[in-house]
């Protein structure tokens, strides 16, 4: 089944080690050992719990999507996450303890879904916050990478609070991260599912041919990072972490000019 990675209603430092729950509790990033869950859906598949200080750009957009802080007052997420959310959460490993920031404006890419016969093309949305997110070790903007970073075989870091399994889990309270390799466009387009044949130059595929590791619903709009820089946005996939079904990501560098025009940031 084709799915978006969103659950429908109902000088940046980057390290590669995971952090166990006990270390998070000791550092104050988690409040207690009772992982209170809420009835919403989906997370990083096959990933490890990490401290928010390892992914300080990671935010939750509304209740069902991720996003990336690209400036203290700007977040980039996916257009398919809709433009009706009113807040983001940032600054904590533990979702239930993150700080809420109100949204004052949404900017969907003008070419979102405008390509005939192609779903999820130009899957980009910029969000302006009412107040800036303080720059701290737990909340820090990420720089945008280049197209040269998105090479077959390069490892992409994906993070979020989404589900562990497709339709079999709940939104998690601690942020997780997983690494998956970039797949060559020709290899992705040749996969048997028809959706992959429509991959555009705004998209790239990443994942293992045998599955096991992937983003999933609830991770939509979240960051895809190579060498500490933002190169992609979680967009869609066919199920989650299934063999020969990689995740599909929207390339951020290709819309640098649009981001600059909307935000006036010196990118």
Which residues belong to the active site?
80, 123, 220
247-251 vs 203-206, strand pairing mode: antiparallel
Query: How many Å is the Cα radius of gyration of the chain?
Result: 17
Tokens for 71, please give them: 């400036």
Question: What's the CA gap between 92 and 40, in Å, rounded?
Answer: 19
* Residue 149: strand, helix, or coil: helix
């Amino acid at each position: 089944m084709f799915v978006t990675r969103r659950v429908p209603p109902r000088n940046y430092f980057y390290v590669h080690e995971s952090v166990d729950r006990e270390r998070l509790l000791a550092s104050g990033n988690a409040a207690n050992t009772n992982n209170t869950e809420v009835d919403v859906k989906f997370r990083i598949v096959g990933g490890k719990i990490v401290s928010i200080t390892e992914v300080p750009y990671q935010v939750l957009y509304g209740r069902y999507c991720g996003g990336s802080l690209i400036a203290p007052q700007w977040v980039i997420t996916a257009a398919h996450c809709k433009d009706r959310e009113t807040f983001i959460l940032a600054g904590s490993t533990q979702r239930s303890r993150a700080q809420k920031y109100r949204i004052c404006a949404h900017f969907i890419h003008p070419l979102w879904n405008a390509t005939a016969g192609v779903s999820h093309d130009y899957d980009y949305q910029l969000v302006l916050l009412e107040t800036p997110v303080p720059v701290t070790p737990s909340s820090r903007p990420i720089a945008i990478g280049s197209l040269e970073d998105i090479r077959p075989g390069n490892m992409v870091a994906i993070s979020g609070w989404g589900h562990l399994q497709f339709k079999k889990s709940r939104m998690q309270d601690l942020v997780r991260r997983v690494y998956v390799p970039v797949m060559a466009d020709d290899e992705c387009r040749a996969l048997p599912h028809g959706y992959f044949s429509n991959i555009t130059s705004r998209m790239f595929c990443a994942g293992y041919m045998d599955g096991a590791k992937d983003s999933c619903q609830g991770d939509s709009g979240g960051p895809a990072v190579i060498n500490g820089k933002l190169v992609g946005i979680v967009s869609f996939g066919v199920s989650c972490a299934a063999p020969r079904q990689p995740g599909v990501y929207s390339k951020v560098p290709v819309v640098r000019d649009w981001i600059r025009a909307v935000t006036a940031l010196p990118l």
